[in-house]
Structure 1
Amino acid sequence: MNDQFTAAAAVLKKLNQHGHEAFFVGGCVRDLILKVPVNDIDIATSAKPEEVIAVFPKTIPVGIEHGTVIVREAGVSYEVTTFRTEGEYTDFRRPSSVSFTASLEQDLARRDFTFNAMAMDEEMRLYDPFGGKRALQNKVIETVGDSRERFTEDPLRIMRAFRFAAKLGFILEERTKSAAGDLAFLLKKISAERKRDEWLKLLSSPYAVRALKMMESLSCLQQLPGLSSASTELSAADWTNLRTNAERMALLALLLKKTEILHFLREWKLSSSDIKMTSAILSAVSVCRLPLSWNLYTSGVDTVISALRVCGAAAGFCTYAEEERMQQAYQQLPIHARSELPVSGLEVSRFTGEKPGPWLGELLMMLEKAVVTGEITCSKEDVIQYIRRWKDERNPPSHA
């Protein structure tokens, strides 16, 4: 038995000893069968929340109205949720009501996909009433029950289907595929934040291009923020070498030839830090024709390398060698910050005899660029000569 499950089995055992049924459920069972790393272990039980709290000395009632209690066991937190059924979905996200049940099968029946509707008991016996293991073996994504009903309850499940396709390399089962295409328009009912989270997970997955092609074929991409004009350019790019969400969103904006960048990024409800970094990457892309040394200096090596990856992904070429060259070029810059100039702003002001003003910042930037691009060396003598020439050009001698 997997060490994680061995430790978590203590929770199941205690619940069983107190007369309650308890099972591992959902994604942890799926990932165990797939033999991939398991992130979180979730547990479902016939015990009511108050009964769970009575069994364990350390609990946190995080979602007790929905039947969820966090149990702390041997220093690890486990979400333990009472078997439940759900009422109608009225807001395309949450059920209008939740009812506790004693039936594991009823609890599994409310889940999205068959491979997420499996359970295992303390002895690791599999309970699979909807054929989830078969779906994994056949590498297909299929909903539990009626696909149209599942997607209408929460249209985000359409995006989750494609995200699993991107993660696992699976295809959509025909009924599931047909319903996803027919109901794609419902994605507009979902908040941008929820779509963003699934979208970024999809783009960071190993089979992202395959999933994007599926979305294109079913006209699902056009339902996402700012993607109404998307066609085949997204699936033609290579997303696998990108490292951050900022790089992925920069590539998206580049492929779609977006001009109102901030508006586009805000449509996706990105964090302010992601917006700032994405904008910086796109700026580095736009000034790539400037001398490399100056681009590295002003943008920073990490941003320039991100811009390089984005350009490589758009054009379909590998950038590993170029990334190494960028690192070396950055290390060889004569300075890496204004503070490394051999003169300070105060010294420049004294030397010119002028009061500080906007001219001072402009001159310091001119000095930085002259040093970085090799026009002058970083010696104090060269810098002072540059300032003297600047002063003469600014205040040419008068002739009687």
Structure 2
Amino acid sequence: MKAKPIIDTFEKYGYEAYFVGGAVRDYLLGEPIGDIDIATNATPTETLSIFEKTVPVGIEHGTVLVLHGNEGYEVTTYRVESDYSDFRRPESVTFVRSLTEDLARRDFTINAIAMHPSEQLIDPFNGQADLHNQLISTVGLAEERFSEDALRMMRAVRFCSQLDFTVTETVKQAIKTYHHLLQNIAVERIQVEWFKLFAGKNVKQGLDMLLETKMYESLPLLKDEHNVIQRLSDHVKSSIKHPEVVLALLSLLSDSWTLSDWVKAYRCSNQQKREANELVKAFKIYQINGITNQLLYQLGRNRFSQFLELLQQFEFYEWSLKGLESMYNQLPIHSRKDMAIEGNQLLNLRPDKQKGPWIGEYLQLIERMILSGELLNQYEAIERQVKQWKTQEND
């Protein structure tokens, strides 16, 4: 791993350090590795003294960002945690020198494995067995883990989708009993897990677990329209990487809630709302007219991958990204800037008119005619068309 020199440095100074968490899990599964976290018996002060380039990002909780090359790696001191009064964060942490004590505070056994760069594994809670059996099991009692941090229940369901694993019966029963605690969690944190669920390799499994455990009863809007979960389970045919596609799909499958409702309830950005709205409009046009020049133009090249992702959930597989891009490249114009006329020139062609909304209306009509092939994107051709409209208006 790229972060091996950091562990080497700790050992040079007489400390121990290990890779921990999701990076180890994904390495053992042969999956792409995301963020690399390191745990050490060095205190934050000792870590700061060892490395030249550091950022004390969460020093009160034992975390220091160590910069190496062009990357930053979170290094956290072994710790144990106090009670969780808000069902999300411990009131305080205590630094310890024992790796096993540190691993014991983690959520699931598959995330409680430590690995040395020599590939020696420290696995006190049999996480490797759960990886082999494709199971999500908590470290210790599920009731305690979920009461400490209610978001762990959402993470359990997300891992069902992300890893194509199943939860143990113990975990499932605990979620059924304790999912109401999710109502204490900030929506922004739920939103992150929600979108990650859709990006997994077995979305249907994650959604079915939401239904089976009735966790939807504690999630925004879904508690009032849980049929959406069943519809999603029926429709989603592949992973959805783009959050705006998830929002568009929710809007299309919901009877009770609009796109604006979903955006507001899950605290999504205005940009996500705009892009999801464009996808919904494009999908409805596609259902009527299929792929047209006008549709490709309205979408724009940047939204093709999202649009295809949405189409695939409704089993429309006849188009490829390469195919859409090829058609897009052949469009006569790609934006209004490409048109052979602009507003001031239109005004010059119609000295009988004052400035007003008609200019935008003309431009829109010219734009549409160029895209449909009714009008060449040449000034002379457009000039003739404008003069023809003037004659028709005067008749």
1:310 aligns with 2:310: yes
Distance, in Å, in 2 between the alignment partners of 1:379 and 1:74 is 53
The verdict on how the C-alpha distance between 1:104 and 1:347 changes in structure 2, with shifts beyond 3 A counting, is closer
Letter in 2 for 1:382: A
Q: Which amino acid aligns with 1:83?
A: Y
Q: Percent identity?
A: 36
**Partner of residue 154, structure 2:** 159
Report the TM-score when normalising by structure 2: 0.90
* Offset, 1:105: 1.9
Q: Which residue is equivalent to 2:277?
A: 279
Q: Is 1:143 equivalent to 2:141 in the alignment? A: no
When normalised by structure 1's length, the TM-score is 0.89
Give runs of aligned pairs for residues 164-175 of structure 1, distance below 5 A.
164-175=159-170
State the Cα deviation string for residues 295-350 of structure 1 (Å, max 9, x = none). Answer: 2223324446633431331x2242444x4443333233222333333333222212
Contact 1:258–1:264 (8 Å) recurs in 2: no
Shift of 1:278: 1.0
Indicate the larger mover: 38-47 or 84-93: 38-47
Does residue 221 in structure 1 map to residue 220 in structure 2? no
Which residue of structure 1 aligns with residue 293 of structure 2?
Answer: 293
Q: Is the 8 A contact 1:85 1:110 kept in 2?
A: yes
For residue 142 of structure 1, report the CA deviation from its aligned partner. 0.4
Which runs of 5 or more residues in structure 1 are unaligned? none
Q: Secondary structure at the residue paired with 2:2?
A: helix
Task: Count the aligned residue pairs.
Answer: 389
- Answer with 334-343 or 299-308: which moved more: 299-308
Deviation at 1:51, TM superposition (A): 2.2
CA displacement at 1:237 relative to structure 2: 1.9
Partner of 1:385: 384
The answer to whether the Cα contact below 8 Å between 1:295 and 1:304 also exists between their aligned partners in 2 is no
Structure 2 contact 237–312 (Cα < 8 Å) conserved: no
CA distance in 2, matches of 1:135, 1:319: 40
**Bigger CA radius of gyration:** 1
Instruction: Provide the residue aligned with 2:373 in structure 1.
Output: 374
- Cα distance change on mapping 1:134 and 1:376 into 2, 3 Å: same
Query: Which digits, 9 at most, give the CA deviation of each residue in 1:126-147, with x for residues without a partner?
Result: 2221111111111100011110
Q: What does residue 109 of structure 1 align with?
A: 104
Q: Which moved more, 1:362-371 or 1:285-294?
A: 285-294
Structure 1 pair 86–384 and aligned structure 2 pair: CA distance change class (3 A): same
Q: Is the Cα–Cα contact under 8 Å of residues 253 and 261 in structure 1 kept in the other structure?
A: yes
Letter in 2 for 1:311: L
User: Partner of 1:4: helix, strand, or coil?
Assistant: coil
Alignment-mate amino acid for residue 362 of structure 2: L
Alpha-carbon separation, structure 1, partners of 2:33 and 2:309: 30
- Whole-angstrom CA distance in 1 between matches of 2:295 and 2:36: 47
CA pair 385-24 structure 1, distance change in 2 beyond 3 A:
closer
The answer to whether the 8 A contact 2:250-2:259 is kept is no
User: Is 1:340 equivalent to 2:338 in the alignment?
Assistant: yes
Superposition RMSD in Å: 2.4
Report the residue type matching 1:129 in the other structure.
P
200, 209, 220: which one aligns with 1:205: 200
- Please give the alpha-carbon distance, in whole angstroms, between the structure 2 residues aligned to 1:71 and 1:348: 60
Q: 2: CA distance between counterparts of 1:118 and 1:325?
A: 45
2:12 paired residue number: 14
Mean Cα displacement is larger for which, 348-357 or 145-154?
348-357
- For the 8 Å contact 2:78–2:97, the answer to whether it is kept is yes
Q: Which runs of 4+ in 1 moved over 6 A?
A: none
Tell me, in whole angstroms, the C-alpha distance in 2 between the residues paired with 1:5 and 1:358.
60
Q: Say if 1:62 and 1:69, in contact at 8 Å, map to a contact too.
A: yes
Letter in 1 for 2:358: W
Q: CA deviation at 1:40?
A: 2.9
**1:390–1:258 distance in 2 versus 1, CA, 3 Å:** farther
- State the alpha-carbon separation in 1 of the partners of residues 232 and 4 from structure 2: 43
Instruction: Identify which range, 195-204 or 263-272, moves more after superposition.
Output: 263-272
Residue of structure 1 in register with 2:231 after alignment: 233
